[in-house]
Amino acid sequence: MQATLYHNPRCGKSRQTLALLRAHGIEPIIIDYLKTPPDVQTLADILHKLGLEPRGLMRKKQAEYTALQLDDPHLTQQALLDAMVACPILIERPIVLVGDKAALGRPPEAVLPLLEAVG
């Protein structure tokens, strides 16, 4: 099984999710999304796989969320996607992708149903 992990090595939940994947015999492709953020189309695809709207994948307690006034209900989905691409610290992590499915590793065990579904 090939998996991709959008990872922040400084994040405990992200490190725990990576360890969980490895404990299940999966060595994922690791994307440090702060250094290599997804483009708008990739982010839209991830959101579709997660079944989320953009704000559902945003770190709302992040200072940038407030500074950029991303809680404005008049902002379009495109504007929110653009903000996440421009400021990837806003993207919740970790995200695991396997095929056409995805899971957010918060908590890390939340990825287990994904592994069972595709494994």
Domains of the chain: 4-118 (3.40.30.10)
pLDDT at site 77 = 96
Residue positions annotated with a catalytic role? 11
Q: Which among 36, 72, 28 has a CA at the least distance from the CA of 54? A: 72
Cβ atoms of 103 and 111 closer than 8 Å? yes
Where does the pLDDT of residue 115 fall: very low under 50, low under 70, confident under 90, or very high at 90 and above? Answer: confident
pLDDT in tens, 11-28: 999 999 999 999 999 999
Give the pTM: 0.93
pLDDT in tens, 25-84: 999 999 999 999 999 999 999 999 999 999 999 999 999 999 999 999 999 999 999 999
